[in-house]
Amino acid sequence: MILTSDEKQIILDSIRDIPDFPKPGIIFKDITTLLSNPKAYNTLMTHLETRYISYDLDYIAGIDARGFIFGAALADRLGIGFVPVRKKGKLPYTTVAEKYSLEYGFDEVEIHIDAFGENGGKKVLLIDDLIATGGTAKAAASLIDKVGATCVEVCFIMELEFLNGKKGIQAPVYSVLVID
């Protein structure tokens, strides 16, 4: 399913730009206004549900923290499980971790070793609100594969295309809104 231009505009208009946050020269895409707009949020979630209903997914994995908002809601709509991909040290059970590069250093994300059950081969959609440089998404997609599942697609609400963040993600990438 493809969003109509009117549906895209409803979603895009609900996202607030915050100039110079968190530092000068950055235009932050604030999704809190999308979340508080029932028409825009329902338009987005209905689109995602329609897109993924035929994928025969077993789980949705959401990246800490805004991916939880969209991922858990979509998992509920599809009647499947939700798995959080968290920053290092936030999960209580045995985990698998993946490092990724930041502008100055590294960070890590983790997933429970048994996040997708005992048997391998589960089909997983990875979701987050925004892809910029793509480091977190690449690490999260790799974690899904490391614990024996298959990342069938990575979905973003927004993609900052000029940063080329989806390069190197091994699964197909779908972005609802592409900002160039």
Contacts for 115-118: CB closer than 8 Å, 24+ residues apart: 115/59, 115/61, 115/83, 115/147, 115/149, 116/58, 116/59, 116/83, 116/144, 116/147, 116/148, 116/149
Tell me which residue range forms the domain holding 171: 56-179
170 lies in some domain: yes
Supply the residues annotated as catalytic.
66, 103
Distance of CA 67 to the CA centre of its chain: 5
> Domain total for the chain?
1
pTM over 0.85: yes
11 lies in some domain: no
Query: For residue 105, what pLDDT is reported?
Result: 80
108 lies in some domain: yes
* Under-50 pLDDT residues of the chain: none
Query: For residue 1, what pLDDT is reported?
Result: 72
Q: Domain containing 162 — which CATH number?
A: 3.40.50.2020
Integer Cα distance of 160 and 18 in angstroms: 15
Query: For residue 118, what pLDDT is reported?
Result: 82
Is residue 58 within 8 Å of 122, Cβ to Cβ? yes
